[in-house]
Amino acid sequence: MRPKSIRLLTKTTFIYLVFILIAFFSTAAFITQRINSFIDEDTESYFNRRERRVVKVIEESDRDLSEINDLVIINDLSGINMSSYPRYKDTTLVVSQMDDPMLFRVKTVILLTSNGNFEYRMHKNISDFDKFRQGVLGTITNTFIILVLVLTLFSLFLSGFLFRPFHRILGSMSRYKIGSDFNLPDVSTSTTEFKKMQLLVGKMISRIESDYNKLKEYTENMAHEMQTPLAIIRSKAEVLIADDNLMNDHSKTVKVIYDEATHLSNLGNTLNLLTKIENGEYDRVEKLNTFDIISRHVDAVKEMFELKGLNLKVDLDPGHTLHLDPLLFDVMLKNLLKNALRYGLGVGPVLLTTKGKVLFISNYGNPLPFDSAKIFNRFVGSNGAKSALGLGLALVKRICDLNKLSITYAFSDAQHTFTIEPIA
């Protein structure tokens, strides 16, 4: 499965958001740490002052210690774990003058004085610090959310407005087809990069068209010019074949000349056809109902199969359809039938079947003398058949590739089977 593509602007926006997320929350963590440090320093300073003041009061023997809240005398220190002091705790308390609960930091210490030992608990209101801390985190979070929304909307704006010329150029390129005298429409844009892109695409199309026309002209000229001398060679060979005295001595030589001239003529025509197919000259794609077309071809070749001792059986689905140029379907079907006729053995029938969306054609024959993975390659060995061009199945494969059809080959129980179906 091909990986899903992501627009460049979407990708850069996502990278910006990740960077901003890291920056924002790194800043939030730093600020929170600094606030916590300030709270710790401020409360500790307050507790230290309070502790010194209480110790001073205790040392003054004429003072009433019952006036000091949260001061508890300790008569025996042996039961006290001194290492666990001082103790800190943040707790929520409700002050009588306030309706809302408030956050306090509590510190519990052991006071060792000349007038006795005491446990003393101190409270410090840190609600304002906590609200400030929560406010900072809330502000940073809300700012990040707003920034995400703004960047997302801005990215959509850029994609729909500033990148509009870019998408128009891409759309024009996607409609380009070689050999169609395509003129790249001028897209109005003030962006330097898009102007350069449009200029380079125009030059590229011009070069492609020029090279294509030169190659096409050369190929057509060669195919045409070859036919004349080949036709002369064949006609002269036919004259020689008609001479009984000559044929008695040179029949094999004359027949080879005639067969090879015919082979070369067919090869030129097939290569020319293959070139036209690859250049996309057959683009009249239609939804073809194959029942009547296949039936017509079967009627045309049935007698040839019978002459070779082959039984051609068909089982056609009236609803079977394929999407491609009708001429290309004719070429594909002719080559598949010709392949079955050339290499089929009379030990079993040649089957041509359509079912659902699939077309099958199979014939009994000898195993391939080469790797089956190369069966669709051009000019692969053809089981010793000298008349074979080695292009028929390559032509069928190319037609399937250009029309989003899948063709597969299998050999089992002495049967060669070709399966054609649309690519899902």
> HEC profile for the chain?
CCCCCCCHHHHHHHHHHHHHHHHHHHHHHHHHHHHHHHHHHHHHHHHHHHHHHHHHHHHCCCCCHHHCCCEEEECCHHHCCHHHCCEEEEEEEECCCCCCEEEEEEEEEEEEECCEEEEEEEEEECHHHHHHHHHHHHHHHHHHHHHHHHHHHHHHHHHHHHCHHHHHHHHHHHHCCCCCCCCCCCCCCCCHHHHHHHHHHHHHHHHHHHHHHHHHHHHHHHHHHHHHHHHHHHHHHHHHHHCHHHHHHHHHHHHHHHHHHHHHHHHHHHHHHHHHHHCCCCCCCEEEEHHHHHHHHHHHHHHHHHHCCCCEEEECCCCCEEEECHHHHHHHHHHHHHHHHHHCCCCCCEEEEEECCEEEEEEECCCCCCCHHHCCCCCCCCCCCCCCCCCHHHHHHHHHHHCCEEEEEEEECCEEEEEEEECC
Q: What is the pLDDT at residue 320?
A: 92
Q: Does the structure show a pLDDT above 50 at 246?
A: yes
Where is average pLDDT lowest: 90-104, 235-249, 336-350? 90-104
* Model confidence, pTM: 0.49
Q: What is the pLDDT at residue 17?
A: 81
pLDDT, tens digit, 9 for 90 and up, residues 378-405: 766 554 444 454 678 888 898 888 888 9
In this prediction, residues 75-79 reach a mean pLDDT of: 79
pLDDT, tens digit, 9 for 90 and up, residues 117-138: 888 888 888 887 888 888 888 8
Q: Does the structure show a pLDDT above 80 at 5?
A: no
In this prediction, residues 287-291 reach a mean pLDDT of: 92
Q: Which residue has the higher pLDDT, 374 or 223?
A: 374
pLDDT, tens digit, 9 for 90 and up, residues 311-366: 999 999 999 999 988 888 988 898 899 899 988 998 889 999 999 899 999 999 99
Q: What is the pLDDT at residue 95?
A: 64
